[in-house]
Amino acid sequence: MKTEVAIVTGGIKGCGKEIVGQLVAQKVHVVTNYRKDTATAQQFETEMKKVGANVYTLQADMGNTDDVSRLFDFVKEKYGYLNYFVANAAATAFKPLLDIKPHHIEKTFAITITGFVLACQRCAELMKGQNGKIVAISGYDTHTYLPRHGILGAAKSALETLVKYFGVELASLGINVNAVNPGFLATTSTKIYMGDLYEAIKKANEQLTPVGGVTAGKEIADVVMFLLSEKAKWICGQTIRADGGLSHIQPLALPES
């Protein structure tokens, strides 16, 4: 049986790590990247080796066009094809819009938008004849105001638009393109962003979310895995809100600082 190959960006922690975990459980070979957290990357590699997973971790910035090329070149040289691509990586400056500088905008959009466009172009090349699947991870800052999320919310909104367009343009190549928009994620990144407010906000979201509780990413990975499966082949260019119903509830207002 031919080995299946996936690229998951930002797969060493949080939601990305959950997605990688489910892929390797299905014997998929995974290539992932990290931007600068070498210590976490090394710990991740150790964990993967212990479970006998075929995972390759590269230091690469998805906002750097050369790094994006290097990531896909690695797959092309090692395997010659690609089955799955999950665009999970994101970074921004969490600041009010009045404090945002041009380089903050450039960095955020380079990772979320430029990197995604270039990656999808490479997917079109490497997924030929593979019934490829592309899934982007969006965020609920696209439809709900979150303090200091203005630039990232704008970038993720643009990402969802690109998913529609790539969904249509790549369909004739047999490639499915969709996105998942999670609600509150109980991850390290969220904890850093919210600081001392994290536990209170987490508890409030546990109570507000209609299905109850919050996720650290496992439930999001479940939805991603469905979209990567052949059962989702009739879903094209869609953004699935996997937030436990949180988007139907009056959002929390976080203090500005």
165-182 tens-digit pLDDT: 999 999 999 999 999 999
**Calpha distance 88→19 (Å, rounded):** 9
187-229 tens-digit pLDDT: 777 777 677 777 887 888 888 888 888 887 899 999 999 999 9
Q: How far is CA 16 from CA 39, 99, 154, in A?
A: 17, 29, 21
Name the residue ranges covered by the structural domains of the chain.
Answer: 5-244
227-246 tens-digit pLDDT: 999 999 999 999 999 999 98
Q: Which fold has domain 5-244?
A: Rossmann fold (3.40.50)
When pLDDT is cut at 50, 70 and 90, the band that residue 146 belongs to is confident
Region 136-164: what's the mean pLDDT? Answer: 94
> What pTM was computed for the model?
0.93
Q: Looking at the predicted structure, is the pLDDT value of residue 75 above 90? A: yes
Identify whether the C-beta of residue 132 lies closer than 8 Å to the C-beta of residue 85.
yes
The sign of the dihedral angle between the CA atoms of 96, 139, 217, 56 is: negative
